[in-house]
Every structure is written in C-alpha cells, then in structure tokens.
Amino acid sequence: MAKLKREIGLVGLTFISVGGIIGSGWLFGPLLAVQHAGPAAILSWIIGAVAMFILAITFAEISAMLPIPGGIARVPQFSHGNIVSMAMGWTAWIGYNTTAPIEVEAMLKYLAPYASWLHTAETGELTGAGVSVALLFMLLFVAVNALGVKFFTQVNATLTWAKIAIPVVMSVLLIASRFETQNFTTPDGFAPYGLRGIMAAVSTGGVIFSFIGFRHVVDMAGEVRNPKFSIPAALVLSIVLCALIYLGLQVAFIGALDPTMISQGWAHLSFGGQGPLDGVIMSVGLLWFLSLLNIGSIIGPFGNGLVATGSNARIAMALSQNGFLPKRLQMLSSFGVPLWALALNFLIGTLFLLTVPFTTVIALNGAAIVLSFAVGPIAVVCLRDLLPDQPRSIRIPAVKLVAITAFAISTLIVYWSGWDTVWRLGIALLIGMALLLIRFHNRLDEMDATEALWLMPYFCGLGLISYMGQFGDGAQRQIPFGWDILLCVVFSMVIFALAVRSALSDKKFQAYIADEEVLDPSKPVIGL
C-alpha cells in the first residue's frame, strides 16, 4: 500500500496556514472591529493574535513530536482514547465538510454581478446552472488535492501570494492616498468604548475567528518534511505574518476614512450597500483598484475551500484509523493521497450544498470547528506524562500555565461563537455519539468511557453558560458582560484539571501508540 509522501516544506506549510487564516473575512473585519472598539481595534487585533499564538504553540509541541495526518482527530486518541477522539474529530470533520459548499457559494455571490444566471432574481438562491458551477468548483478542489500534496502546495502557494499581496498593496495605497491622524483620537478618543469595546471586537467583532485557520498545519502534519522544525516554525510564522497584515489593513482603513464618516460615532459607521473596503477605496479615488479587490474576493474563498478539502481528507483518514469510519478511507492512491476520503467528503459536501440552507451551513461550520481546539492544551500536558522521555523539538516552558490559558481561550472561542452556534454543536455531538454507539455496539467494552467523563460536564456547562450569557440569538443575557468571561475562565480551570486527571493509563497509551512510526528518539530537545 502506498504511504503518505512527506513533500511539504516550511514555505509550503506556512502558506497552507496563511491560506487558511486569510479568507474573505479581511474584507469586512476592519469595519466590524472599529464599530465595536473605534481606533482601539488595533489593540483588539494584537490581543487576538497573542491569544491564538498561545493556543497554537500547544499544537506546535504535539505535532512536531507526533507529525501524523489529521492530528486534531488523532492526537486525543493517544491522550484520552476513542470517545474523546471521536468527539473532537467528528466535530472537525463535520465543520470541514461544510467549508467547501460555503466557500463556493461565497465565490458565486461575489460573481453574481457578472453572471446573473447563477442566482434567481427573486430569492437569490442558486439556479440549476449555479449548482452545477458550484459542484464543478468542489470537484476542482478534489482534483487538485488528488494530484498529490506537492502539486496541491504549489497551487496553494500561488493563491496565497495573491491573498497576501492584495491586502498589503491596498494598505500601502490607502496610507499613501489619505491618512487622517485625527481619526485615531476623535470622536471620543482612541478607545471610545473602553475595555469592553476592545474585547467585544476580539469576540463578536470577528478578530479571534480571523486566526483559526492555523489548524490546517496540524491536519497536514503527516506530509511535512522535517516536521520537528517546519511545524512549529510554520505556526509561528503564519500567525505573526497574518497579524501584521491585519494590523496594517486596520491602520490604513482608519486613517483613510473621511472624518465626516465618523461624526456620529464609530458604532454608526456604515457604507450603505457597499462593502467597507469598496467604500473606502472609492472615497479616496482608487477606483482602478476595485478590480483587484474583486479578484481577491474570489481567490480568498477558493483558497480556503482548497485547503479545507485537503485537511478534511486527513481528518477522515484519522477517524478511520481511530476505528470510527471504515478502514477503506485509509487507502492511499499512487500519489500518496487518501482518495476514498476525498470522494466521501465530496459526497457529503454535495448533500450540504443541495439540502441545507446556506445560513444554517454557516452556523454549523462555526459550531463544528471551534470545539476541536480544546484538545491541544489538554493533550500537551498529558503527553508530558505519557511520553516523558520522548525528545521534543519544541518544549513549552511553564507548560501547565500555558495550557490552562490556552484551554480557557479555546473555551471562550466556543462561547463567543454564540448560543445559536453552540446548540447546533450539541446536536452535531449527539449525532456523532449515536453513530459511535452503532459502530461499537458489539464491543462496548472497548470504549474508553472513564477517560471521557470530563466531556459531559464540559459540554453541558459550556452550553448552560452560553445560553445564559451575552452572545448569539436566543441567549438570555442573564450573566453580565465581564462576569461571563470570568466564569468561562474559572470553569475552564476546573474542567482542565479533571481532563488531565482522566488521561489514558500507560498500558492503554502504549497499545494505541504502538503502530505509529513517527516517534524519533534521535532528535535533540530545544527550548521555546
């Protein structure tokens, strides 16, 4: 049987992460952030980048030591067994399967002014021809990935260069065309909405969600050359690079505004039916740049769909290795690609495209992905005990403090996604649990139930806090802002302690890790 080919270098892996981070959100992020925080949105981007960096380095230590495909689904198998790995892998898998339909529909919406036949005039839904074009794009995602990871990284690198260049060039042009320094202090000063506004921009303003694409590095780790260096380096480089791009764009956006636009306050800043960047470009007279911006609005979703398709195939492969999905999904083509996994994911994505409303798919996408971040901070501490002597190319100092902080961040990300997202996450988890029971119906004794005891209080507690909290449609808003964040942090600390104590026994761990061929005792340990 063919094996995965380790053909992704540092640049290719960094661009996979950058391509996942910079999607279409940068087109609206600058406006949403300043509506919440005013010019202090600059601080929101810094806080978001630091928070995501703390979360990412927990995955960096694990994936550099265990460079395996579909790491978000596979790693919890080694720390807490099959039930926890199912919960994390299943939610990630569902989320990734909705990504390709979302991205192709986003592309077609951007193309609508140039191809009206893609949508119906009455409802704006895809026509039969529009659905056909969407399926062709999804097939293109599969085809590029099916031709091997080397070809995939080359295509993605080309797209990512464009995704980097367009916002960077635009930032430079805006600053050169008009830069009103008074916008950073008026009206009502640099931080008109105080700390609450700054944190609101991080949460509901979309700042924190703009960085979550780094996860693709973890999923593609099984095909990375020199993973002990490339994985942590790619995670750090991509977050730093994207943070600089977002910060530059935010500064340029604020400075390029006509002061009259914000005379009523930042919260009332609006561009009518135009996109915010379109409006700023037109106000400074850079009409010729609109064409490039439109190109960027197509490349962004296309690149995200391409990367998510590749990552999701590795998630399906990992779930198969965990015993949750059929073994056939582990079979690789002559190109070293899990072709059966790509085919299955395409069929599921097609079902989402044809049967589920677009707004529901978007909500499910966010719900199903955000939870999977919780596994990294817990696993990094557990694996320190389960693999104490295994050399690590990156070793986090004060690992328990960093991990508790990262776990609290991941919990807050789920909470900030809103009650309307969290309840959908609960339904997805119940479906996954039902399928797991069906899969293991005649061998229930093989399920690692004791190690998963922390999951139920975590899910129920987080659901209750979300329902009583401040975010999302249907939330009761009984817990005041600020206290809700404090409650999430304290709750995270309790669950984290319980989860670490629930790790696999050494005997079970050795049984799960025995077939892996990624542990290399020859590499030296370096500090972070």
pTM of the model: 0.87
**Residue 390: per-residue pLDDT:** 84
CATH of the domain at 450: 1.20.1740.10
The distance between the two most distant Cα atoms of the chain, rounded to a whole number of Å, is 70
235 within 8 A of 57, measured Cβ to Cβ: yes
* Number of domain units in the chain: 1
How remote is the C-alpha of 394 from its chain's centroid?
Answer: 22
Residue 190 lies inside a defined structural domain of this protein: yes
Cα distances from 431 to residues 86, 257, 436, 437, in angstroms, run 11, 48, 9, 10
Q: Would you say residue 297 lies in a domain?
A: yes
* Alpha helix positions (H), 257-396: 276-283, 290-321, 339-355, 358-370, 375-386
Provide the pLDDT for residue 526: 35
pLDDT at 374: 86
Boundaries of domain holding 201: 10-515
Look-up: residue for tokens 């036949």? 117
Q: Is residue 46 part of a domain?
A: yes
Q: Amino acid identity, residue 214?
A: F
User: Residue 213 CA to chain centroid, in angstroms?
Assistant: 4
Q: Nearest Cα to 218, choosing from 369, 353, 59?
A: 59
The pLDDT assigned to 519 comes to 55
- 27, 169, 195, 477 from 482: Cα distances, Å: 29, 38, 10, 12
In a domain, 3, yes or no: no
Per-residue model confidence (pLDDT) at position 516: 65
Give the Cα-Cα-Cα angle 75, 79, 84 (nearest 5 degrees): 75
Report yes or no on 31 lying in a domain: yes
Per-residue model confidence as pLDDT tens for the chain (528 residues): 457 788 899 999 999 999 888 877 788 889 999 999 999 999 999 999 999 999 999 989 998 888 888 888 888 989 998 889 888 888 888 888 888 888 888 888 878 778 888 888 777 788 888 899 999 999 999 999 999 999 999 999 999 999 999 999 999 999 999 999 999 987 788 999 888 889 888 877 778 878 888 888 888 888 898 899 999 999 999 999 999 999 999 999 999 999 888 888 899 898 876 788 888 999 898 999 988 888 888 888 899 899 989 999 999 998 988 888 888 998 998 888 999 999 999 999 999 888 877 777 776 776 677 788 888 899 999 999 999 888 888 899 999 999 999 999 989 888 888 888 888 888 888 888 888 888 777 777 778 889 999 999 999 999 999 999 988 889 999 999 889 999 999 999 999 999 999 999 998 888 888 766 555 534 433 334
Q: Which residue has the tokens 């999951």?
A: 455
Three-state DSSP class for 395? strand
Report yes or no: 344 and 316 within 8 Å, Cβ to Cβ.
Answer: yes
**Residue position matching structure tokens 């099959």:** 82
3-state SS, residue 273:
coil
The single-letter code of the amino acid at 202 is: V
The reply to whether 525 falls in a domain is no
**340 found inside a domain:** yes
Q: To 5 degrees, how large is the angle CA 204–CA 102–CA 211?
A: 40
In a domain, 524, yes or no: no
